[in-house]
Every structure is written in C-alpha cells, then in structure tokens.
Amino acid sequence: AQSVTQLGSHVSVSEGALVLLRCNYSSSVPPYLFWYVQYPNQGLQLLLKYTSAATLVKGINGFEAEFKKSETSFHLTKPSAHMSDAAEYFCAVTSYSSASKIIFGSGTRLSIRP
C-alpha cells in the first residue's frame, strides 16, 4: 500500500519569502511522486514529478522538490513566494505496481501575505 502525508494543512508566508511544503511518503515499492496545484473550483495542474531519475526535480513556476529516500520525503520549495502562488497544493504517489492509480495527500493551502 502507498500513502502520502502532508504536514500542515495551511501554510502562510510573506511575499518574497521561502515556500516550503512538506510531504512524506510510504511505499513498499519504488515510488513515483508528484506535486499538483489546484486553484479554487479548478482541476489540478502538475507542478513537477519524480520518476526515479534525478532526485532534485525542477518544475514550473520556480518550484522544485527533492526526493530523499532516507527520509521518505519529497518536500516542495520555492525561493521567493509570489501572490499568485496562493492555492491548494497536493502531494501524490503512485508506482508501476499500483495500476497507475494516484494516491493524493490531504493537501496544503498556501497563503501569501503582502
């Protein structure tokens, strides 16, 4: 079985500050990990994904995440927050053995203070 845990249902940072959204995973097989962003009443947009290649993954909009097997983590970061980054962020996991089903974390709402 696979699962992801997102620490912190709500994170608030000042504009220009570092964004750090935490995600820990559990998987008995090599995981594939994703970060998605969701704006109100919209679907999900892929920010980045880890597929067993480079452990540091760069995504869109200046986001990046690092896969750390020893810590079973896949935290999302961005050096400088913009107001437009305010949204809901979901960490997700899947694997070849899971029939490509994606399991989502509970989500983290990111707020940006002016």
Number of residues counted as binding other proteins (CB under 8 A): 23
Residue from 35, 39, 70, 37 nearest 51 by CA = 35
Judged by CB under 8 A, which of 90, 93, 110, 112 binds other proteins?
A: 90
Q: Which residue, 16 or 30, is less far from other proteins as judged by CB?
A: 30
The span from the CA of 36 to the CA of 38, in Å, is 7
**Residue 53 binds other proteins, judged by CB under 8 A:** no
Cα separation, 4 vs 109, whole angstroms? 16
Residues that bind other proteins (CB under 8 A): 32, 36, 41-46, 49, 51, 90, 94, 96, 99-107, 109
